[in-house]
Each structure stands twice: as C-alpha cells, then as structure tokens.
Chains A and B, each alone.
Chain A
C-alpha cells in the first residue's frame, strides 16, 4: 500500500513540476507567429501533396504569408482555396480548376511495342535507355510512374496498358503531368467543356504514324478545317483547341478519321455534363 501511495505522490509531484516548467518555458521562449500563417494554413486542404512546389502545406503557408509565393499555387484546393487565401492576404487570385487528361490512347493492341523491353520497369528508365518502348516514341509506355505519384488515388493502370484517371478524385494537382517523361498529361478545365486530341505523336509522315499506332493523329487537319469556331490550330504537329472559344459542338470528333479527337466530357467513358450552347448543364446518364 505504501508503495502505491509513494508512486502516486511522486508521479503527481513530478508531473506538476514538469508541467509548470514547460508552461513557463513555453511563454519564455515563445516565437511570435504571423497570424496570417495560421489563417492561410487553415484555408489550405492539408493534403501535403507538394504540388505547390513546397514540402507541405505548412511550408507553403509560410511562404505565402512571407510574400514569397503566389496565392494560387494550391492545385488540389483549386479556385475556392485560392480565393480564400487571396482574401486573407488581401490580393486577387486568378485560378481555374483543372483535371488531368491523358493525351494517348495507344492501348496494347493498337500501338505495338518495338521490341521486348528488359530493364528497370519505370517509364523514366525506359525513356532514358530506349527512348520509349513503343513504335510510337511519344506514346504511353504504361509502367505507371504517374500512378505512383498521385496523392489522391485518382490514377490507376488499366488492363489495356494505359493509366486511367478517376475524375471523381482528380484534383488537378499536376503531379502526374510533372512525372510523365513523355509529357502526356495535359491539364484541362474541370468543367470539361471542349474537345481534345488524345494523341501526342508529332511525326508528320502519315505512313509512319499509321504504322506505329492505329489511333494516332495523321495530321490530315480535317478538324482544323471543320471547326465552325476556328478554334483549332496545329501546334508542333498536333491540333490544339483554344478553350476560350470552343463550344463542344463535336464536329471535330466526327470528322477525325482515326478517332483521336474526343470531347472532354466523354473521356474515360463517363459523360459528366452535356452542354448545349447557351443552355446550362444537365446531368446525363452514364
């Protein structure tokens, strides 16, 4: 009984003394923290994904409060967070919510390998050592480097050898776009209005493109001619859509002979929103 009492007494006394000392020293050594750091940190999502270029949300909040970082760097938070942070810092933000789109549809049976690749099974290693494992040197090699860097579980390798984006989860942080050695991910508006060419083959010789991939862009420029809004232009051998003009009419999709033009709405087989010009969104059947 005595031992229990001694232990209790001693533990209480020790805890009291330590608590007192720690409390005093905390006040004594208190570092004044910029209240804006705390406020900005609270406004951030706290995913610590690193898309902003800082080691985590804390570091980014510090940089923002110190005026060293722009307020709209948080991609997962998107527009809402950028506006909140901008309000806290008293500046204006211009951020648009985006999602990642894979610009390649060279599935296993459509885009052949140029040989059997034996080596480190990462896209980056394969790109450095062989310049791409497929006949199409721009195509997705399918080792899934992008799926490893996705912090939001939004990228998964499909059985067809390509990564698939889960648009319920994609926050548009852009980590996959930064990781892909083929630069195959493009950040598209989250509203997903507009058309996109899901091919990155820059080869201008039609025969070569057709040999390396059955669904590659053959540079016929039918889309450029057909677009009623004149919003498609050829950039480095690939048609590029100007989203400020595109109305998602779908004419380019119909005209494309190799079926590599798609509307952003229908990518991944999930039409989220069908938009007619002027009429606002109505959810469509999947």
Chain B
C-alpha cells in the first residue's frame, strides 16, 4: 500500500511539472507533438529510474556511510551531493547512449535524440534529491522515480493535446506561442491542485 501511495504522490499530487514547476524547458520544447512527447516521456522514465538506482546506493554507501561517519566526521560527504549527482547522472546518460548506439540501434533511433536533452534535467535531479530527503529505501525510491516520470509524461501528453487544439485558435499576436503555452500550463496546474489532499 505504501508503494502505491508513493507512486500516486509522485505522479499526481507532487507532479514535477504542474505542481513543482520543474523541467519547464523540456515541457515547452517537446510538447508540440503527441507522439514526440510520449517518446520524451519514455526516455525521461528510463533515465530517472536509472539515476535513482545509481544515486541512492552512491549516497548511502559512499557520501554518507554511517559506519565510516562513526569513525570520523570527515567522511560525511553529503554536502557534495549536488556535484556528485550531476556528474554521475550525466556520465550515466552518456554511457547508456554509447551502449544503445552499439547494441540496440532501433531503440537508439527512437530515444537517442532525447537522451542528450535530458542529461541531468532538473526534474530528474529533483527526484534523486527527494529520494534522499524523504528517507526512502531503495525500493521506495525506485517507485518514486517511476511515479515522478509517469507524472512528467502525463503532463507532457496533456499539453501536447491542448497544443493541437490551440494551433487553429485565433490568438492575439502578443500572446501567441510560448506565452499562451504558459497560460495553458497554469490552467492545467490549477486543475492538478485539486489532487492536493488526495494522499494523507
């Protein structure tokens, strides 16, 4: 039950884009087409889960290992969290890109163009930090990262659908393009605020 709760919390209640305003660049940039946004969502899901799976042990066994910290406070490296997570996630994405290019070219063709875009995307980084601050164990943090990226995909697909309708709308010139998208996004966010009491 706890895992279901965490999943819903991450996907809907704390939606990375609509409730926490993260990854807006990718959100606006990749939502002009429904199929593209689904591809982007898939790539984000993949990288987020991978990043969580790597950064969680990294933090708990290297940066803030309680056994080492008991020996001397000098081993408390948790302040290096941001630096290390960014570097490790970026390198990881690169590595995955090499691997896919060689071994799974079809998946690389479908997802490869999105991978450089989401190298340490702020939503992904936020999920890895949340795993630490919310004191999740490894299973919980994996579920949390899946939930967060499903929420990301959901809002991306929602905006892509809205953009399809907005293409033929007769908007005043000053609000055309990105400004109108942010208005649509904030209206979506208002709708998502209704979920805020869903999980106790």
What is A's interface to B at a CB cutoff of 8 Å? 2-3, 6-7, 10-11, 14-15, 18, 21-22, 25-26, 28-31, 120
- The A-B contact count (CB < 8 A) is 39
Question: SS class of chain B's interface: helix, strand, loop or mixed?
Answer: helix
Chain A residues closer than 8 Å to B79, beta-carbon distance: 3
- Give 22 A-B contacts (CB < 8 Å), ordered by A residue: A3-B79, A6-B74, A7-B80, A10-B77, A10-B80, A10-B84, A11-B80, A11-B83, A14-B83, A15-B87, A18-B88, A18-B91, A22-B95, A25-B95, A25-B98, A28-B98, A29-B99, A29-B102, A30-B102, A31-B101, A31-B102, A120-B168
Contacts A6-B74, A6-B77 hold; do A29 and B91 have CB atoms under 8 A apart? no
Q: Beyond A14-B88, A22-B94: 6 further Cβ-contacts under 8 Å?
A: A6-B74, A10-B77, A14-B87, A18-B88, A25-B95, A31-B102
Chain B residues closer than 8 Å to A25, beta-carbon distance: 95, 98-99
Going nearest first, the 8 A-B pairs with the smallest beta carbon separation are A29-B102, A29-B98, A18-B91, A25-B98, A31-B101, A31-B102, A25-B95, A29-B99
Residue in chain B with minimal CB distance to A118: B170
Chain A residues closer than 8 Å to B103, beta-carbon distance: 29
Interface-centre pick from B77, B79, B98 (highest chain A CB count, 10 A): B98
Residue in chain B with minimal CB distance to A55: B113
A21 touches B91 (CB 8 A): yes
Q: State A3–B102 Cα separation when bound (angstroms).
A: 41
A2 touches B168 (CB 8 A): no
Contacts A26-B98, A29-B101 hold; do A2 and B91 have CB atoms under 8 A apart? no
A14 touches B84 (CB 8 A): yes
Q: State A14–B95 Cα separation when bound (angstroms).
A: 15
